[in-house]
Structure 1
Amino acid sequence: MAIDASPCGKAPPGRLAGRWVPLLVVAIGLGFGLLVLFVRLHLEPVTNVDRGVVRELNEVVSPRSYLVNALNGITRLGGRPVMLWLVGVAALLLLLARRRVRLAVYLLATTAGALLLDPSVKSLVGRLRPVVEAPVAIASGNSFPSGHALGSMVVYGALLLVFLPAVRYRKLFTAAVALLVVAIGVTRIALGVHYLTDVLAGWLLGALWLSVTAYAFRLWRREAGRPVAPLDDGLEPDAAEEIKPALHSGRPVPYRWVKATEILTGWVFTFGILYVVGYLVKNHTEGTWLGRVDDSVVRWLRTSRTPTLDDASWVWSKAGDTRPILAISLVFCLIALAVWRQWRPVVFVVLTMVGELTLFLCTAASVQRDRPPVPQLDGPMPTSSFPSGHIAATMCISVAIAVLIMGRVSSRWRWFAVVLAVVITAGVALSRLYRGMHHPTDLLGAAILTALWVGLLWWALRPNARAVPVELRT
């Protein structure tokens, strides 16, 4: 019979922590219950503190637009679109790529519970949102508890418990998640859409629900005959190797300093070529056949505008905007890690998009080409016309993904990536011309940027090369 033992007759850490868990859950539940009671009874000391904190923070935040923008950026990380996207992607990867059904079900069930708890408790308490002198944000529905605080505690806490076994520096990772949850809650108060007690209640209710679901998961494992480890090791410590993003296969890019020098030198040459082309197009095409084609194409498209085409072009144009392109890049990187379990494709995609963005911004700022001489449906833009940022971003991510799929997928369906890249790029390009945002030669600039930059990264990184595990090297 195996007997747990430890020096000086003390209980093992995991068993000691297990004894404290029920007491901690009870304490969290009592804390949440007291907050509900205080709010429902409208106790004056609590109300005064709530109003005073919101008022003082509003006086600090409202005159500073940069602070409002920063707070809005952080608070979006606790919004439903971001968190549901994170949970959805994580659950799909766990189900399809790792076959960890229990962890995927845990994530989905825990998140679904939080989605039900938030509106239910809000309707029961019925507290109105704060009224501040200088509003900087708008939120609908009741105030108690904070949905952002509740959701971030549950979602980021659940993701932490699921992926903790695969993390090397667990304390640092846990501290980062805790800091994010605290920051999201603070932004809700600073933006004047929640009271302090709303956020505290959201954290407590989220921690309570997270504790209950984690305990239920541990019971599930026990009934399945699996060992139950301390939560410090995550929900399923035995899944550590399977949920790691990539196997240990050495450096994703060998000779990294040499490659960094090659890539940096190539970036400079690419920028130089783009600047020369942009300078020539801006200053030496007026009155030439190329200049006449540039103007005649956008003018002809201007005469073809209809409300239906305007709406369709708006959708296509938005497909090449910064946010959708970044979302596509991030999703593809996660899928690439899950399927191929190598960092090299991720490095290739990340450098592709970073290089595209910096090349576009530097070239546009240097060339300063005017937009076409037709009404622009998207209004004034902060950057100049050459090269087209929408088309360059769409082309770069499409080509990068097609390169990786063509080199790593043997099925005939790999050609679908090429067709999709051509169709999406053509749609975005035509929409930008139709909406009067670019000349045809601006599209040429985007094509040059894509060909030179993606070609350089393909040559320098060899993204489809198979990394050799360290243990197999001699």
Structure 2
Amino acid sequence: MTAVKDVTRRPIGHFAERSIAGLVAVIGAGAAFGLLLLLVRFRWSPLQQADHELAEWFNSLVAPHHALVTVLQAVTDLGGRPILIWLVAIPAIGLLIRRQPRLAVYLIVTGVGGLILDPSLKALVGRLRPVVDVPVASAPGNSFPSGHALGSIVAYGALLLVFLPAMAPRWRKPAIVGVGVLVVLIGLTRISLGVHFVSDVLGAWLLGAAWLGVTAYAFRLWRRERGKPVPPLTEGLEPEAGHDISIAPAEERVLAHPRSAVAELLVGWVLVFGALYGFGMFVSYHAKGTFFATLDTEVPRWFADRRTDVLTDVSWWWSKFGDTHAILLISLVFCPLVLAVWRRWRPVLFVVLAMVGELTLFLASAHVVGRPRPPVENLDGQMPTSSFPSGHIAATICVWLAMTLIVFPRTDRWWRWIFVALAVIMPAGVATSRMYRGMHHPTDFMGAILLSALWIGLLYFVIRPNADLAEGNQPAIESEDVDTLDDELARAGRPD
């Protein structure tokens, strides 16, 4: 009996020990933040002087090096609000799709809490941002605490706690170290760019650690109240959900023959580029007196003669649906949801290669063809690339066609037709707006269609994004079927 009692009490003892240690850490972080908050709020002179001296020192190191400033700005964007909202929202939706509502709620509550703490404390403290000799960046609002530093430790920390069980044990410690390094780098970039004091970042880290600890502790208490074991945080919040939240647990290999696929794509890319080059050079410089020349002359003039303020505004907004930011946003939403629903990397690879191939083909062909813009007023001004082919239109066709080719065969629900409709409406709208704004000829639109059709067709042949559907349709013999088959054979061998 004593041994049984010891076994039953052991989890309780471990939980109590970990809980006390965790509470001490959380309380310590909270107390340290409270002290720092008071020192900043009442402008303690030694802290103020140290902050300003360090701000000037970092500025003197960074300001002369423009390349370093570019790198720092790229890293600091990883802690920006748009990225953090995406990092919390998309995984939360994926967790709901995977039927993990508790983890989704934890992620949302933790992330939203971080977003609320930042502006409210900044308004409470009202600290101005640093003023340095050579400003290299700017940021709106007050300074304490750093929103980037606070948001990054909360968002990346919460994601780590949620998805640790989906990682192999050998990758968990490197993941923890990697997240820690990323959070530190984001905080340092805020200081180096001169938009935050050192104490702003330290305060954000302390507050973020305290908030992350409180929410993790609450989640662990919830597990304990329901009689579930409470493992150490190095195993994640819910270890038993590891298989369900794994990105693609049933996929052994993305491509059966990756080397041959790479070779086929490289050869295909060259052939598609050749077709674009030939068509682009013809319509740009050798089509005088043909239907193409008439079309490229009359259509831009027709649109230019019918411009109105309302149509110009509409064309500006619709044109934005085809720019790099919009296409990237669509892809960053679609690809994680594909992983959440179908648990396959191959469709994601199909979309990624569609966009990478489109971009490289567009840039290469635009450079070698070098076609001028239509001879009407260009409402978007001078562009860094030439007219042929239209990058906006090609990117819009590729992203919506790729998504439609993935979604349509994978469901029989009515909403799959929405993707078909958008694959037609979105490119048509972007093409109309680009020609209306005097940025492209009709044959630039044709070039975008040629690029998209050839590249997406090649990718579909090589990648086969829906190959798992064909594999799933093949009948498999389960163990129960094997037992039944053995019984039937045994009966067949017995004499009557």
What TM-score does the superposition give when structure 2 sets the normalisation length? 0.89
Structure 1: where are the runs of 5+ without partners? 6-10
RMSD (CA atoms): 2.2
Partner residue in 2 for 1:237:
239
Given that 2:127 and 2:143 are in contact with CA atoms closer than 8 Å, whether structure 1 keeps it comes out as: yes
Indicate the structure (1 or 2) with the bigger Cα radius of gyration.
Answer: 2
Partner of 1:8: none
Aligned pairs for 1:263-302 within 5 A? 263-302=265-304
Rounded to whole Å, the distance in 1 between the matches of 2:14 and 2:199 is 34
Structure 1 segment 222-233 matched on structure 2, within 5 A: 222-233=224-235
- What is residue 378 of structure 1 aligned with on the other side? 380
1:83 lines up with 2:114 in the alignment: no
Q: Distance in 2 between matches of 1:52 and 1:227?
A: 50
Paired-residue identity, %: 55
1:453 aligns with 2:463: no
Change (3 A) 1:14 1:170: farther
Mapped to 2, the partners of 1:232 and 1:2 lie a distance apart of: 27
Alignment partners' CA distance in 1, 2:438 and 2:428: 16
CA contact (8 A) 2:15 2:230 kept: no
- Describe the SS at the equivalent of 2:135: coil
Amino acid aligned to 2:75:
I
> Would the alpha carbon gap of residues 407 and 232 (structure 1) be closer, same or farther in structure 2, given more than 3 Å must change?
same
| Corresponding position of 1:36 | 37
The letter for the 2-side match of 1:70 is: V
CA–CA separation in structure 1 for the residues paired with 2:185 and 2:7: 40
Q: Match of 2:415, SS?
A: helix
Report the equivalent of 1:67.
Answer: 68
2:180 maps to which residue?
Answer: 178
- 193, 196, 199: which one pairs with 1:194? 196
Moved more, 48-57 or 406-415: 406-415
Number of the residue aligned with 2:491 = none
Q: Distance in 2 between matches of 1:26 and 1:417?
A: 51
Equivalent residues in 2 for 1:305-344 (5 A)? Answer: 305-344=307-346
SS at match of 1:229: coil
- Consecutive unaligned residues of structure 2, counting only runs of 5 or more, are 479-496
2:215 to 210, 213, 216: 213
CA contact (8 A) 2:250 2:343 kept: no
* 2:258 paired residue among 256, 264, 268: 256
Partner of 1:92: 93
1:393, CA displacement in angstroms? 0.5
Match of 1:158? 158
The amino acid that maps onto 1:335 is L
Q: Which amino acid aligns with 1:208?
A: A
What SS does the corresponding residue of 1:402 show, helix, strand or coil? helix
Task: Give 1:40 deviation, angstroms.
Answer: 3.2
User: Residue 411 of structure 1 corresponds to which residue in structure 2?
Assistant: 413
Amino acid of the structure 2 residue aligned with 1:299: R
Q: Say which is worse superposed, 175-184 or 199-208, in terms of deviation.
A: 175-184
Could you tell me whether the CA contact under 8 Å between 2:51 and 2:199 is conserved in 1? yes
> How far apart, CA to CA, are the structure 1 residues paired with 2:207 and 2:68?
29
Q: CA deviation at 1:125?
A: 2.3
Which amino acid in the other structure matches residue 22 of structure 2?
V
- Secondary structure of the 2:252 match is coil
What residue is the counterpart of 2:23 in the other structure?
A: 22
**1:94 CA displacement:** 1.2
Cα shift at 1:112:
2.1
Q: Contact 1:401 / 1:417 at 8 angstroms: preserved in 2?
A: yes
Corresponding residue SS for 1:466: helix
| Kept after mapping to 2: 8 A contact 1:298/1:439 | yes
Please state how far the C-alpha of 1:2 moved relative to its aligned partner: 6.5
**Structure 1 residue identity aligned to 2:220:** R
Structure 2 distance, partners of 1:21, 1:411, is 48
With over 3 angstroms needed to count, the CA separation of the structure-2 counterparts of 1:185 and 1:12, relative to structure 1, is: same
Counterpart in the other structure of 1:120 = 120
The worse-fitting range, judged by mean Cα deviation, of 298-307 and 82-91 is 82-91
Q: Distance in 1 between matches of 2:288 and 2:374?
A: 13
Q: Secondary structure at the match of 1:246?
A: coil
In structure 1, what is the equivalent of residue 484 of structure 2? none
Q: What is the one-letter code of the residue matched to 1:85? A: W
1:207 is displaced (CA, Å) by 0.4
Secondary structure, aligned partner of 2:136: coil
- Once the two structures are overlaid, the 10-residue window that deviates more, 268-277 or 278-287, is 278-287
- Stretch deviating more after TM superposition (375-384 or 123-132): 123-132
Offset of 1:16 from its aligned partner?
A: 5.9
Which residue does the alignment assign to 1:129? Answer: 129
1:144 is matched with which residue?
A: 144
What is the CA deviation profile of residues 271-317 of structure 1, one whole-angstrom value per residue up to 9, with x for unaligned ones?
11111111112210234332121021011101111111111111111
> Alpha-carbon deviation of 1:157?
0.8
Q: CA deviation at 1:411?
A: 2.8
SS at match of 2:277: helix
Letter in 1 for 2:402: A
Change (3 A) 1:260 1:4: farther
Per-residue CA shift, 1:48-74, capped at 9, x if unaligned? Answer: 221122112223333444333332222
| Cα distance between partner residues in 2 of 1:263 and 1:413 | 32
Distance 1:350 1:35 in 2: 45
**Equivalents in 1 of 2:194, 2:288: separation in Å?**
54
8 Å Cα contact 2:32-2:206 kept in structure 1: yes
Q: Answer yes or no: is the 8 Å Cα contact 2:19–2:217 preserved in 1.
A: no
| Range with bigger deviation, 227-236 or 175-184 | 175-184
For residues 180 and 357 of structure 1, the distance between their equivalents in structure 2, rounded to whole angstroms, comes to 29
Contact 1:365/1:384 (8 A) holds in 2: yes
Question: In the aligned structure 1, how far is the partner of 2:142 from the partner of 2:321?
Answer: 34
Q: Which amino acid aligns with 1:59?
A: S
8 A contact 1:245–1:338 mirrored in 2: yes
What's the CA shift for 1:35? Answer: 1.7
Say whether the 8 Å CA contact 1:74–1:183 is kept in structure 2: yes
CA deviation map 1:117-142 (0-9, x unaligned): 22232233222211122223222222
Q: Deviations over 1:76-106 (max 9, x none)?
A: 22122221122111212212x1111111111
Q: 1:299 to 1:151 in 2, by over 3 A?
A: same
Alpha-carbon deviation of 1:473?
11
Corresponding residue for residue 54 of structure 2: 53
Which residues in structure 2 correspond to 1:435-454 (within 5 Å)?
A: 435-454=437-456
Sort the Cα spacing of 1:439 and 1:170 in 2 relative to 1 into closer, same or farther, 3 A. same
Partners of 2:440 and 2:344 in 1: CA distance: 38
Separation of aligned partners in 2, 1:292 and 1:60: 59
Amino acid at match of 2:256: P
User: Residues of 2 paired with 1:456 and 1:357: CA distance?
Assistant: 15
Per-residue deviation, 1:115: 2.2
CA distance in 2, matches of 1:229, 1:411: 41
State the AA in 1 paired with 2:160: L
Residue pair 2:92, 2:104 contacting (<8 A) in 1 also: yes
* Contact 1:148–1:184 (CA under 8 A) maintained in structure 2: yes
CA contact 2:110–2:154 (8 Å) conserved in 1: yes
Give me the TM-score of the superposition, normalised by structure 1. 0.93
Note if contact 1:18-1:230 (Cα within 8 Å) is conserved in structure 2.
no
Which residue does the alignment assign to 1:106?
Answer: 106
SS at match of 1:393: helix
Moved more, 292-301 or 108-117: 108-117
